[in-house]
Structure 1
Amino acid sequence: MSSQTVMTTPIVYPDSDGMPMADNTKQFRAIVTIQGNLDAIFRERDDVFVAGDLLWYPVEGRPDIRRAPDVMVVFGRPKGDRGSYRQWEEDGIAPQVVFEVLSPSNTLTELAAKQEFYDTYGVEEYYLYDPDRGDMSGWQRRDGRLRVIQELDGWVSPRLGIRFGRTDQGMQLYWPDGRPFVSFVELQAQAEQERQRAEQERQRAEQERQRAERLAAQLRALGIEPAEE
């Protein structure tokens, strides 16, 4: 008897869907700000993976079933670079939290399909941000389904620990310690302000030291030894 080797074509899971990360600068800035702040919040947690615009394949053997959330957070998976998130290679763990940032090209059908996907494949918290209006909607998994969060103002994410708050400029996200989410440019501006304040404090301290030395010299000239502090 002769045996025949059955050749199978390996399944390809592309690392790109050919779609741009963002349609405009405002959307891109929102995506990067959310992803960057979340990554910084969990920087010391080796078991929290944060990614932006990464294709997520939930079902092995089905490369057609996929989404690329603008931002996703996965608890229970290590940090590290990935070309895509293949759930069966990640202990079967689905992203627990997903953010989408609305773009002008998004249709109602597309948004409904995204929500259905996240509902079907186990996302626990889903947030949709509209950068043009500064508004945000949220859904939380309850009783096995993603349910609308009726009021996001003051809402604290059970998974992330971040707080959502409404301001005159729209929805603002806050770190667990109360600091607002900021962009890289804003962060650099804050760092520069801190540097300037530190330099001013150093100069004041130096001026005070020099004043004290002059006073001590004057006292010694009068035959008075200044008291040591």
Structure 2
Amino acid sequence: MVPTTTKSPPAVYYPDSDGQPMADNTLQFEWIVTLQGNLDLMFRDRSDVFVAGDHLIYPVEGDADIRQAPDVYVAFGRPKGHRGSYKVFAEENVFPHVVFEVWSPSNTAERMEEKRRFYERYGAEEYYIVYPDFPAYAQGWFREAGALVRVTNMNGYVSPRLRIRFAVLRGSVAVFRPDGSPFLSFVDLGALQQKTEESLTHERQRAARLAARLRELGVDPDAV
């Protein structure tokens, strides 16, 4: 009798890139970076929330052809840390809960619907598309009875999972954190920080001048 041997199936290679550009234009790129950065900032103190942008998701072990690379996504219950890709089967089978896509000229309605079906099939709780070009607007879906159901009115809509609010009005779209502060670009965040620092410096200088004047009058400002 000839002994038989069982061969292990060949290892599956999961590429970290799909070869597609992150964005088609500067406006789309700015929105992707703004969404990813502000969401990451929102959950900076949560070690169990992973936020990524332009990152491949592989939902099925053994099949590297089933994949999508959303512009931004948020996965709860998963640790922070760098990953080449997000393999759901290596992440305790947790599919990202919230997914964002930012519309670009190369997109088509058919392609976006294909993505929506993918996210619906594999478990996303919420799916949003931001259309940044004027007149800007947004679309959203939430999971109900196993399907992603369209949000009828995005103006004022609050994400059930993230608690962020969308404002879609007069040809513009904006996103606000749970505390009401707006999502800001990196440049705007830097300008706000600079303004805050300048204000603090002004207050310190004012306090120092007041303390000096009190000393001139024979009053110890530290004792007041």
TM over 0.5: yes
Which residue does 1:131 correspond to in 2? 132
From 198, 203, 206, the equivalent of 2:205 is 203
Show the counterpart of 2:76: 75
Q: Which runs of 5+ in 2 are unaligned?
A: none
Whether the aligned pair in 1 keeps the contact of 2:137 and 2:171 (CA below 8 Å) is no
Question: When the two structures are aligned, how many residues end up with a matched partner?
Answer: 219
Shift of 1:27: 0.6
String of CA shifts for 1:128-176, please: whole Å, max 9, x gaps: 0011133111111112111110111221111111111235561211111
Deviation at residue 211 of structure 1 after TM alignment: 2.0
Aligned to 1:96: 97
Confirm whether residue 15 of structure 1 aligns to residue 37 of structure 2: no
Structure 1 alignment gaps of length 5 or more: 218-227
Question: When the two structures are superposed, what TM-score results if normalisation uses the length of structure 1?
Answer: 0.90
Which of 147, 150, 157 aligns to 2:149? It is 147
Q: Structure 2 counterpart of 1:105, which letter?
A: S
- The yes-or-no answer on 1:120 pairing with 2:106 is no
* Pairwise CA distance, 1:75: 0.8
Check conservation: 2:36, 2:51, Cα contact below 8 A: yes
How far apart are the structure 2 equivalents of 1:189 and 1:177?
20
1:98-125 deviations in Å (ceiling 9; x for gaps)? 0000011111221111111111111110
Structure 2: distance between partners of 1:5 and 1:119: 37
1:9, 1:109 → 2: CA distance? Answer: 34
Aligned-partner Cα distance in 2 for 1:40–1:169: 27
User: Which residue number corresponds to residue 225 of structure 1?
Assistant: none
How far apart, in 1, do the equivalents of 2:9 and 2:203 lie? Answer: 70
Is 1:192 matched up with 2:188? no
- Deviating beyond 4 angstroms after TM superposition, the runs of 4 or more aligned structure 1 residues are none
Which structure has the bigger radius of gyration? 1
CA RMSD of aligned residues (A): 1.6
- Residue 71 of structure 1 aligns with an amino acid whose one-letter code is V
Partner amino acid for 1:27?
Q
Corresponding residue for residue 67 of structure 2: 66
Q: Output one character per residue of 1:156-202: Cα deviation in whole Å (capped at 9) or x when no partner.
A: 11111111123556121111111110111111100100111111111
2:179 matched to 1:166? no
2:51 pairs with 1:50: yes
